Amino acid sequence: MLYVTGITGHTGMFFLNRLKQEGFSGKIRCLVREKTDTHMLENTGLNLEIVRGSIEDKQVLESSMVGAETVLHISTILLSNQVVEAAIKNRVKWAILVHTTGRFSKYKSASEEYIKIEESIIGMRNQIGITILRPTMIYGTSRDRNMYKLVDFLARHRFFPMFGEGENLMQPIHAKDLGNAYYDVLINKHITYNKEYNLAGKAPIRYIDLIKCVSKNLGKNTIIVKFPLWFSILAAKIYNKITKKAIISVEQVLRMQEDKSFSYEEAYKDFNFRPLSFEEGIISEVKEYVESRRNSRRGLKS
């Protein structure tokens, strides 16, 4: 039996679609929150069982995991230790954990907690098989927490403020590619067991080119206003002194200059991971955004 957390989330739904597409016949048990809409889960045709409860509740985790052979933890990395501990108590053989490349940031506030969590979990490999998947920034639909906000900002504004030159590299991964990776890791256990994989988009893209790409797909000619790094840092310092509710810190300004590009060679070699480029993947997200705004306007008119 496969036990899954976070299946109704952004990437979880793409994983679910892949399971349906492949005609997966194994039993699946999904832990979802009490008020989660499970209509899509109930009409998949899969051998799927829904358990309602909070993943933060250790007793719920332990009792709902009884009989599971494999755990796929898509939900937050912050609860990975708790999930693995429950899996060990239930003698689960294999846990696939979705974490983040954020653990490789050179800035302590961004990486310290992730490193601590992973080191603790890796230390449990003598009790359970652990496979760790580390995606970069996830995008692809209106459900993402990062790129959709950028699309919205660029759609609404003519000017875009940029801290520094925008030469830093990014390599966002489309949610569908990640959902497919969950499936491919699962069915290639003989290769992927106890491995760690960085998962990213097809190729790195400069931040400034990413902005231009989104703007082009929106049919806009965005004017990028660059602020020198020294000025951006000074402004952030002043801003943080003026207000206790500052939405950006000096470290965040510095992290914007950090390259976030990663090789997925191991994933390609082990389960033929072939992700979309950002230029390909962003098209559908921008289209969804544009259609959403158009429908919203129609609703207002009616």
Question: CA-to-CA distance for 118 and 120, rounded, in angstroms?
Answer: 5
pLDDT, tens digit (0-9, with 9 covering 90-100), for 105-148: 988 777 899 999 999 999 999 999 999 999 999 999 998 888 99
The owner of tokens 């705004």 is 293
pLDDT at 277 over 90: yes
CATH number, domain containing residue 57: 3.40.50.720
Say if 301 falls within a structural domain: no
Say if 115 falls within a structural domain: yes
Cα angle 124, 125, 129 (rounded to 5 degrees) comes to 125
Say if 255 falls within a structural domain: no
Domain count, the chain: 1
The owner of tokens 């349906």 is 20
Say if 167 falls within a structural domain: no
> Which tokens in the block code for residue 18?
């892949």
The owner of tokens 């290769």 is 191
Pick the range with the lowest mean pLDDT from 83-87, 133-137, 161-165.
161-165
Question: CA-to-CA distance for 14 and 31, rounded, in angstroms?
Answer: 17
Say if 173 falls within a structural domain: no
Say if 296 falls within a structural domain: no
pLDDT at 302 over 60: no
pLDDT, tens digit (0-9, with 9 covering 90-100), for 193-211: 999 999 999 999 999 999 9
Domain range enclosing 57: 2-135
- pTM for the full predicted model: 0.91
Report the SS3 class of residue 288: helix
Backbone CA torsion sign across 296, 208, 101, 106: negative
Mean pLDDT of 222-245: 85
Say if 248 falls within a structural domain: no
Question: CA-to-CA distance for 285 and 106, rounded, in angstroms?
Answer: 30
Question: CA-to-CA distance for 125 and 232, rounded, in angstroms?
Answer: 44
pLDDT confidence of residue 80: 96
Say if 25 falls within a structural domain: yes
